[in-house]
């Protein structure tokens, strides 16, 4: 009875029909595990493309479609650490002075598309082409771009690389802080040119980039509120429900997914396929708990190995960031005013609710991408460290990662202007001298580190958190790259005319970090993930550590697929939501084609 109530609640919110008990007994044609960025997109496209078949989408978190912390752009990041966050952490990272890094993921319908900073960008063409070069025919810039554009509905001065009919609304932010206007000429002073078509496969330069925001109501546009309402009545959505494993059986001598078992023991049958879209940290765990993975990992938790697939949970890659924070001069108003002035915050929220221009509209849009030559000039010593870290490797992913580090058309560093306090030690507490002051952050993001880690289950209990080990800063190149990024971020802040807008460096402090040794300690203690994990169910040949083939089928199975960021074999130099939507669109077309051929 409780199960049915939850289903009815989710269905009424997302506009799809409620489950009937007979359907629970008879099963579904397609079952999708995970209603996040990719899962909700795939479910919608299958519903539209296969109207005569039934689809079940299962999400562990609630719908939360009316949650302001999700919908209001200026409240982004306020969901982190709350009940809609899985609240994962890494294992202690030696490269980060044994810190446990936060590993935020959205536990809500829409997944991390409900959590992200709404930046909408793309990497260089060669990075998507690398997927095909590594052994996955049909996956390249043109095919992924087609999927990415199919997902997008851009409002503004369009170009050949921007979609205008998709479900995810994007727009250049209408609230641009005055101090950000100083950032652009500062970046020009440092040698970066304006890039007006940064989404076209050549992202280097400085630009205003779109946010995934709907300009009709200025709400976040994400998979739950933009894809799912377009689904047909053949899609059922079940929220607040965890899948414990995929059920497998032999069919003509091959393993086939027959359905899923929920955490409470309920079994749903799948007549055609099961699609795992639980994300980079949890899709591998679903496979492992189903008997697919490294035998040693499965033996440790008492799971019988059905398919020995050593690549499951390996190849974890992520983007690390370092941020310097600056106290603004009093004549500038920052996003911080929403946190220290309750009257102002109430006024601005009322404006936002009435769809009027509001400080709460703000989302990060000042973006730049660059190679190391642009950032530091002579990059020979840094690239030598990269050669030392990966030059002797025979692993195809590590070789390709090194190729991309050495390619000057590929971004190695992203630099963002973030209005308002965005640092590590916290906004000044009430009653302290700096409470009520405004800040901004310059954020440096490492795009192509060489570290690769892993994520595995540590228990046969689905409720136990995964063991996440990204191996951050585990080689000399990654460490020095982080140092160079932090130094460059300070250089940006000290460049004219931006230097005229601030009175002090709040983090780390001009007199606190000066020497190379101090910079190393600063990055070891203050780097954080920017939450772009990928690669743990890599789309690669099986012999190269692959988990899925080019049709996204798990190796050794006939009808079990993975569709999310975990299939990306080499992490791209971009925020990942555009790529994940593109992957979902391409995958949905594949699944529909395969169904129609059958």
Radius of gyration of the chain (CA): 23
Residue 575 bears catalytic tag: yes
Tokens coding 157: 């001065």
According to DSSP, the residues that pair with 349 across neighbouring strands are none
Catalytic residue among 169, 319, 359, 532: 532
CA dist., res. 113 & res. 223, Å (int): 7
CA dist., res. 14 & res. 226, Å (int): 10
Catalytic residue among 169, 319, 456, 575: 575
Tell me phi and psi for residue 493, to 5 degrees: -65, -30
- Say what angle helices 577-597 and 37-49 make with each other, to 10 degrees: 30
CA dist., res. 493 & res. 514, Å (int): 15
E strand segments, 329-427: 366-370, 413-419
Rounded to 5°, the CA angle 318-591-457 comes to 40
**The pairing of beta strand 55-58 with beta strand 28-33:** parallel
Q: Which helix or strand (DSSP H or E) is residue 326 part of?
A: strand 320-328
Residue 456 bears catalytic tag: no
Residue 199's nearest CA partner among 209, 184, 191, 213 is 209
CA dist., res. 307 & res. 300, Å (int): 16
Number of residues that this document lists for the chain: 598
Contact in structure between 364 and 116 (CB atoms under 8 Å): no
Tokens coding 221: 């546009």
CA dist., res. 365 & res. 207, Å (int): 8
Distance of CA 236 to CAs 7, 93, 174, Å?
Answer: 8, 41, 36
Q: Return the SS3 of 597.
A: helix
How many CA atoms, within 13 angstroms, populate the side-chain half-sphere of residue 361? 21
Q: Active-site positions?
A: 532, 575
């Amino acid at each position: 009875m409780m199960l049915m109530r939850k289903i009815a609640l989710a269905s009424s919110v997302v506009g799809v029909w409620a489950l009937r008990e007979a359907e629970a007994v008879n099963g579904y044609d397609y079952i999708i595990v995970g209603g996040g960025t990719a899962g909700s997109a795939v479910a919608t496209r299958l519903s539209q493309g296969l109207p005569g078949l039934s689809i079940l989408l299962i999400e562990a978190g609630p719908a939360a479609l009316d949650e302001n912390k999700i919908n209001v752009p200026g409240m982004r990041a306020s969901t982190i650490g709350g009940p809609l966050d899985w609240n994962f952490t890494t294992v202690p990272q030696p490269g980060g002075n044994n810190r446990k890094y936060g590993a935020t993921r959205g536990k809500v319908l829409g997944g991390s598309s409900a959590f992200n900073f709404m930046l909408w960008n793309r990497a260089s063409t060669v990075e998507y082409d690398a997927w095909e070069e590594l052994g996955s025919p049909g996956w390249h810039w043109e095919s992924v771009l087609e999927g990415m554009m199919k997902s997008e509905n851009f409002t503004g001065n369009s170009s050949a690389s921007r979609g205008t009919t998709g479900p995810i609304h994007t727009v250049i932010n209408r609230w641009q802080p005055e101090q950000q206007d100083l950032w652009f000429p500062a970046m020009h002073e440092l040698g970066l040119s304006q890039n007006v078509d940064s989404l076209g496969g050549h992202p280097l330069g400085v630009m205003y980039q779109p946010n995934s925001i709907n300009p009709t109501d200025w709400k976040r546009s994400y998979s739950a509120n933009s894809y799912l309402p377009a689904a047909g009545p053949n899609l059922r959505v079940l929220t607040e429900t965890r899948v414990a494993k995929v059920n497998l059986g032999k069919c003509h001598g091959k393993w086939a997914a027959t359905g899923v078992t929920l955490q409470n023991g309920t079994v749903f049958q799948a007549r055609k396929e099961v699609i795992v879209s639980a994300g980079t940290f949890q899709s591998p765990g679903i496979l492992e708990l189903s008997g697919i993975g490294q035998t040693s990992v499965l033996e440790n938790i008492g799971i019988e190995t059905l398919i020995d697939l050593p690549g499951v949970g390996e190849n974890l890659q992520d983007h690390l960031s370092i941020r310097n924070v600056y106290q603004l001069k009093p004549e500038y108003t920052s996003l911080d005013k929403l946190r220290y002035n309750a009257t102002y915050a109430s006024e601005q929220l009322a404006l936002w609710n009435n769809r009027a221009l509001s400080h709460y509209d703000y989302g990060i849009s000042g973006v730049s991408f660059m190679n190391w030559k642009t950032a530091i000039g002579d990059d020979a010593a840094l690239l030598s460290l990269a050669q030392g870290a990966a030059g002797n490797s025979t692993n195809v992913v590590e070789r390709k990662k090194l190729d991309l580090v050495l390619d000057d058309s590929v971004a190695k560093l992203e630099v963002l202007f973030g209005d308002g306090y965005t640092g590590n030690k916290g906004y000044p507490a009430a009653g302290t001298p700096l409470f009520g002051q405004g800040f901004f952050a310059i954020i440096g993001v490492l795009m192509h580190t060489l570290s690769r880690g892993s994520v595995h289950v540590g228990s046969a209990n689905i409720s136990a958190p995964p063991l996440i080990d990204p191996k951050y800063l585990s080689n000399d190149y990654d460490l020095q790259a982080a140092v160079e990024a932090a130094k460059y971020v300070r250089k940006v802040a000290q460049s004219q005319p931006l230097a005229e807008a601030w009175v002090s460096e709040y983090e780390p402090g001009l007199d606190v970090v000066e020497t190379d040794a101090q910079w190393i300690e600063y990055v070891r203690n203050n780097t954080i993930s920017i939450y772009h994990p990928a690669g743990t169910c890599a789309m690669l040949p099986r012999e190269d550590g692959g988990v899925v083939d080019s049709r996204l089928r798990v190796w050794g199975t006939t009808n079990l697929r993975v569709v999310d960021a975990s299939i990306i074999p080499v992490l791209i130099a971009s925020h990942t939501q555009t790529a994940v939507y593109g992957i979902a669109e391409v995958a949905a077309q594949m699944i529909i084609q395969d169904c129609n051929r059958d």
